[in-house]
Amino acid sequence: MYAFLTGPMLWLSFAIFVIGCAWRVVKYVKGLSWQLDRVPYGYYRELAWKGALKSIFHWITPYGSRSWRFKPLYAAAFFLLHIGLVIVPLFLFAHVMLVSERFGISWPTLPAGLADALTILALAAGAFILLRRFALPEVRIITTPHDLWIMAISLAPLLTGFVAAHQAGEGNGWLLAHIVTGEIWLVAIPFTKLSHVVLFFCSRAQIGVDFGVKRGGQRGRGIVW
């Protein structure tokens, strides 16, 4: 069982994740239409790149956009959740060890204490975001079951991983659960709202180009989007 989950199943999950994401990006780019979108994608390359990168940069920087500064608490939760979901797994000692054992490549890892702290913070951030969904009428009205599922799918690998790492003694139930939930998460990415893993960069780049080239980017100080 363990061998299957960490062998073929893991490969399959990664393959679905990578190919699925690539397919979403290709579909996105192919479906752009300069005339319908009213953006001159093919012109003013320099401005376009500048607009796209500026837009992405300001939104992946904590408090880099006016909106993040406007909602400090939510921004904190947002960044903590994403750090826990993206940065921690990539630099987790246990993960890096696995890769290095199999492929002989490795990279720096996070100190265990920090990884733990970030995981707990990410879980707390997830819980906060969930509670906020129900507490605020303006978020409740747009919440769908899909959003709850997505949160569950995303938090499950964190929670199971955390428990597995701290479980004293034998019994690899939690570890198995961690692997399974991690794989579910990977597979879900291309097919659900989690596709924003790649589509965030697409849509931010797109609006960056829109504003950088067409709506004001050529004049004045340019608008930070």
Partner 1 sequence: MPEGIYCNKTPITTEEALKALLSDTRGTKYYAEMEQLEVDREKLWATIQKTFKSRMQTWLDVCARCGLCADSCFLYLVNDRNPEQVPSYKIHSTLGEIIKRKGDVDGAFMRHAMEVAWSRCTCCNRCAQFCPHGIDIGVMMGYTRGLLYSQGFVPWELKIGAGMHRVYRAQMDVTTEDWVETCEWMAEEQQDDWPGLEIPVDKEDADIMYTCNAREPKHYPEDLAEAAILFHIAGENWTVPSEGWEQTSLSMFAGDWEACKLQVQTVYAAIERLRPKRVVGTECGHAHRATVVEGPYWAGRPDGQPPAPYIHYVQWVAEALREGKLKIDPAKRIKQPVTYQDSCNYIRNWGLAETAREILSYIVEPGYLVEMTPNKEYNYCCGGGGGFNGIGKFRPMRNKALLTKRDQILATGAKLVIAPCHNCWDAIRDLEEEYHIHIDWSFLKPLLLKMVIVPEHLLPKDEDSEE
Q: Does 78 contact partner 1 by CB under 8 A?
A: yes
124 is written with which tokens?
A: 């707390």
Is 181 in contact with 7 (CB distance < 8 Å)?
no
* CA 116 and chain centroid, separation: 19
Instruction: Pick the closer one to partner 1 by CB: 27 or 114.
Output: 27
Q: 91 by DSSP, 3-state: which?
A: helix
Neighbours of 188 (CB within 10 A): 20
* CA 81 and chain centroid, separation: 9
Query: Which one of residues 1, 3, 30, 170 is an interface residue with partner 1 (CB under 8 A)?
Result: 30
Instruction: Pick the closer one to partner 1 by CB: 2 or 27.
Output: 27
Q: Does 213 contact partner 1 by CB under 8 A?
A: yes
Which residues, 126 to 165, sit near partner 1 by CB under 8 A? 133, 136-144, 147
Q: Does 61 contact partner 1 by CB under 8 A?
A: no
Which residues lie below 8 Å from residue 68, measured CB to CB, with a gap of 6+? 59, 62, 75, 78
Q: Does 82 contact partner 1 by CB under 8 A?
A: no
Whose tokens are 């097919």? That residue is 191
Instruction: Pick the closer one to partner 1 by CB: 100 or 140.
Output: 140
CA atoms of 43 and 28, how far apart (whole Å): 19
Which residues, 182 to 211, sit near partner 1 by CB under 8 A? 193, 195-196, 199-200, 202-204, 206-208, 210
CA atoms of 27 and 188, how far apart (whole Å): 17
Instruction: Pick the closer one to partner 1 by CB: 110 or 155.
Output: 155
Q: Does 62 contact partner 1 by CB under 8 A?
A: no
- Residues of this chain that bind partner 1 (CB under 8 A): 27-40, 42-43, 55, 59, 65-67, 70-71, 74, 78, 133, 136-144, 147, 193, 195-196, 199-200, 202-204, 206-208, 210, 213-223, 225
